[in-house]
């Protein structure tokens, strides 16, 4: 296993796994950190040979313990699980917030082969949290594309929320599909905007996950289980859970709590 520091809180780990090499962008793996916990992580790079990456934001006990791992340390990988993004042709928009950009990169690599135009919108709190700038440049160099970067503090790109820029774009241009991953409030705003402009949306949701195969119920949202029906949900599925999407989630004990 290789490890690369992206910024003070985010690290990318690369390992060989044949099954992950065949995964769809948007699918996830359960990462076992021996003696600590097992947590869900999206694949941030997928290569047919099996070279696979995860990009981890240290937010709590398990993700911080994972980010202490170095080259040669051992972790366990279970998966890949769930349903990934379905690639669409035409004029597509990809909207990532913070580490949410991770699963959108392998997707964008696939979209380059089928889409006519890609508009990639990346938002983060500050410049340091805007990840993968070189990779974005490389991926989009082959196609008619537009990239917009926003930061909350104006340290890079436009000083605003990424959804403010999306709003402007949707007023001027007709899109055939929008893909999004990031903080749930951002994705909920994306859902409302996509509905308003009649554009289909695919969003990758996060919930507490334990079994990752649809059995334990810890990832329930409405009638859906995010690990099995998602993590990527389409507009129709998002409409069916709109009472909870952006508002509530289950905590570690299974209690319904307000989303932070
Ligand atoms: C399908 C999927 C893909 C993900 N991909 C990535 C990724 O590519 N990169 C990344 O950095 N993070 C990703 N996450 C989020 C990551 O799994 C959580 O940040 C991690 O599990 C937190 O565990 P912890 O012990 O470090 O934090 P905790 O101390 O347990 O909690 C810190 C915060 O994370 C939330 N959280 C805790 N456990 C989970 C969980 N199992 N799932 C979701 N949220 C949780 C808590 O509600 C709390 O707000 C993904 C989550 C899902 C469901
Ligand atoms: S994680 Fe167990 S049902 Fe989804």
Residue pLDDT, tens place only, 129-171: 999 999 999 999 878 899 999 999 999 999 999 999 999 999 9
Q: Say if ligand 2 is within 6 A of residue 219 CB.
A: yes
Q: Is the CB of 124 under 6 A from ligand 2?
A: no
pTM of the predicted structure, to 2 decimals: 0.95
Please give the backbone phi and psi of residue 50, each rounded to the nearest 5 degrees, phi first: 115, -10
| Whether the predicted pLDDT of 196 surpasses 90 | yes
46 has pLDDT over 90: yes
78 lines ligand 2 (CB under 6 A): no
Q: What is the mean pLDDT of residues 34-60?
A: 96
Taking residues 37-60, what's their average pLDDT?
A: 96
pLDDT number for residue 260: 77
Over range 214-234, report the average pLDDT: 97
Q: According to the model, what pLDDT value does residue 24 have?
A: 97
What is the pLDDT, as a whole number, of residue 72? 87
Q: What is the pLDDT of residue 111?
A: 96
pLDDT of 37 strictly over 90: yes
* CB-CB contact of 72 with 42 (8 Å): no
* pLDDT, mean over the chain: 95
For ligand 1, mutation pick of 7, 8, 63, 65 (most atoms within 8 Å of CB)? 63
């Amino acid at each position: 296993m290789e490890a690369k520091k992206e910024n003070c809180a985010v690290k990318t780990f690369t390992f060989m796994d044949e099954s992950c090499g065949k995964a769809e962008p948007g699918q996830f793996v359960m990462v076992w950190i021996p003696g600590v916990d097992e947590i869900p992580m999206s694949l941030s790079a997928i290569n047919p040979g099996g070279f696979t990456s995860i990009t981890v934001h240290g937010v709590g006990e398990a993700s911080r313990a994972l980010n202490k791992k170095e080259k040669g340390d051992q972790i366990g990988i279970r998966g890949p699980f769930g349903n990934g993004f379905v690639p669409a042709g035409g004029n597509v928009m990809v909207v990532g917030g913070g580490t949410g950009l991770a699963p959108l990169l392998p997707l964008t690599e696939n979209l380059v082969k089928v889409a006519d135009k890609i508009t990639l919108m990346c938002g983060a709190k500050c410049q340091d949290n805007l990840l993968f700038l070189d990779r974005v440049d490389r991926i989009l160099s082959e196609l008619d594309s537009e990239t917009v970067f926003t930061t909350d503090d104006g340290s890079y790109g436009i000083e605003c929320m990424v959804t403010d820029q999306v709003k402007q774009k949707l007023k001027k241009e007709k899109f055939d599909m929008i893909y999004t991953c990031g903080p749930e409030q951002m994705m909920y705003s994306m859902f409302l905007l996509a509905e308003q402009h009649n554009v289909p949306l695919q969003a990758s949701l996060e919930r507490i996950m334990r079994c990752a195969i649809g059995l334990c119920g810890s990832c329930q949202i409405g009638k859906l289980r995010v690990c099995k029906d998602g993590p990527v949900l389409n507009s129709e599925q998002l409409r069916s859970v709109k009472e909870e999407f952006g508002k509530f989630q289950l905590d570690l004990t299974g209690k319904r709590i307000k989303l932070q």
